[in-house]
Amino acid sequence: MSDDADLPPDSKLTRSKQRWAAEGKFITGRHARPDEQRLPPGQHLTQDWPVLDLGLSPQISRERWRLDVYGSVVQPLFWDWSQFMAQPQSDFVSDIHCVTTWSRYDNRWQGLATRALLDACQPREQARYVVLHCYDGYTTNLSLEDFAAPDALIAHAWSGAPLEPEHGGPVRLVVPHLYFWKSAKWLQAIEVRDDDQPGYWEVRGYHNRGDPWTEQRYSED
Ligand SMILES: Nc1nc2c(c(=O)[nH]1)N[C@H]1C(S)=C(S)[C@@H](COP(=O)(O)O)O[C@H]1N2
Ligand SMILES: [Mo]
């Protein structure tokens, strides 16, 4: 797993990152977990990769694709494909855990680390959440610290090949330490917010956070 390792120390620390570091955030479920504890409770392993979505499967060409980053940020971003691909690239390997109980190990993703995106857009001091907006109308919400997990990225490739349209290509979010409904396919926009705004499944009974290790599948109320 490569991270910001080849950047000079402190060159890209934003105020937000310093604040999160001071608060001891960025702790995900992945670190040094022994093999027999790798599968979260209530999950089973699959070798294949099921497709799950609203069924609309929008066909977005790279020419037409845009990524907008806006809201509570100092520097809004409006990228086309070549601007997005010119950003620093990360290569992360992570496990998928879907709330429908399948898990898939060792997925190799390539793209822009969410931390690098936050370096570029600079969330305002009071920013706490993001809402992901997708080309099929899907939305999902994350706290800024979950979005900024060290192995989270905005991915354009899987297993070394362009991400298939059925799995969210051209570009999807991957947040490995939460259930996979948080990993927005066909990503169109990232809205940074001071307040939380539950997304498509979160207003339909799914848990607001979705931690697989504590089985945050459905909301209590
Ligand atoms: N845009 C969009 N993203 C989405 C969804 C969706 O319906 N639309 N479904 C979510 C759900 S419920 C899951 S489990 C995963 C499935 O991703 P996969 O089809 O690549 O396995 O995508 C998530 N991201
Ligand atoms: Mo899902």
Predicted confidence (pLDDT) per residue in 156-197, tens digit = 999 999 999 999 999 999 999 999 999 999 999 999 999 999
> Tokens representing 103?
């898990």
**Residue 86, domain member (yes or no):** yes
Assess contact for 30 and 38: CB atoms under 8 A.
no
Atom of ligand 1 nearest to the CA of 186: 1
For 180, the domain range is 62-93+105-221
| CATH number of the CATH domain containing 128 | 3.90.420.10
Q: Please state the φ and ψ torsions of residue 43, each to the nearest 5 degrees.
A: -105, 155
Q: Is the CB of 51 under 6 A from ligand 1?
A: yes
**Residue 10, domain member (yes or no):** no
Dihedral (Cα; 187, 38, 116, 194), 10-degree rounding: 70
Q: Please state the φ and ψ torsions of residue 85, each to the nearest 5 degrees.
A: -70, -15
Residue of the CA atom closest to atom 13 of ligand 1? 181
> How far apart are the CA of 184 and the centre of ligand 1, in A?
6
pLDDT tens figures, 111-156: 999 999 999 999 999 999 999 999 999 999 999 999 999 999 999 9
> How far apart are the CA of 180 and the centre of ligand 1, in A?
7
Q: Is the CB of 183 under 6 A from ligand 1?
A: yes
Q: In this predicted structure, which of 8-12, 69-73, 99-103, 189-193 has the lowest mean pLDDT?
A: 8-12
Cis peptide leading into 170, omega within 30 of 0? yes
Q: How many domains does the chain have?
A: 1
**Residue 75, domain member (yes or no):** yes
- Which helix (H) or strand (E) is 15 found in, with range? helix 15-22
**Residue 139, domain member (yes or no):** yes
**Residue 12, domain member (yes or no):** no
**Residue 188, domain member (yes or no):** yes
**Residue 52, domain member (yes or no):** no
Q: Is the CB of 206 under 6 A from ligand 1?
A: no
> Tokens representing 194?
């001071």
**Residue 33, domain member (yes or no):** no
Atom of ligand 1 nearest to the CA of 136: 1
pLDDT of amino acid 33: 73
Residue of the CA atom closest to atom 1 of ligand 1? 185
